[in-house]
Amino acid sequence: MAVRADGGVTRAAKRWAPVGAGRRQGMVVAGLAVVVAGVVGLHRAIPNSPGRVGSLVESFLPWAGVAVVLLLVVALVRRSGVALVALLLPVAVWVQGFGGLLLPGDGAGGGRELTVVQHNVSDENPDPAGTARALARAGADLIALEELVMPALSVYEDELGADYPYRAVHGTVGLWSKYPIREAQLVDIKPRDIAEGWSRGLRAVVRTPYGEVAAYVAHLPSVRVGFGGLASSRRDESARLLGDIIRAEDVRTVILLGDLNGTVDDRGLSPLTSQLNTAERGFAFSFPAALPLARIDQVMARSATVGHIRTLPATGSDHLPVAARVTLG
CATH architecture for segment(s) 113-328: 4-Layer Sandwich (3.60)
pLDDT value at 19 more than 60: no
Spatial CB neighbours of 206, under 8 Å, sequence gap ≥ 6? 142, 166, 175, 177, 179, 180, 181, 182, 212, 213, 214, 215
The confidence score (pLDDT) of residue 21 equals: 60
The confidence score (pLDDT) of residue 215 equals: 98
CA distances from 177 to 52, 164, 295 (A): 38, 5, 24
pLDDT value at 16 more than 50: no
Mean pLDDT of 108-131: 92
* 54: amino acid identity, one letter: G
pLDDT in tens, 33-79: 999 999 999 999 999 888 889 999 999 999 999 999 999 999 999 88
* Domain spans in the chain, listed from the N-terminal domain onward: 11-102, 113-328
pLDDT value at 313 more than 90: yes
Give the confidence band of 213 by pLDDT, cuts at 50, 70, 90.
Answer: very high
DSSP for 176-190, please give it. Answer: EESS-EEEEEE----
Task: Characterize 173-211 residue by residue with b for buried, 16 or more Cβ atoms within 10 angstroms of its Cβ, and e for exposed.
Answer: bbbbbbbebeebeebebbbeeeeeebbbbbbbbbebebe
pTM listed for this prediction:
0.89
122 Rama class: left (phi>0) / alpha (psi -120 to 50) / beta: left
In whole angstroms, give the CA distance from residue 84 to residue 257: 42
Mean pLDDT of 292-299: 98
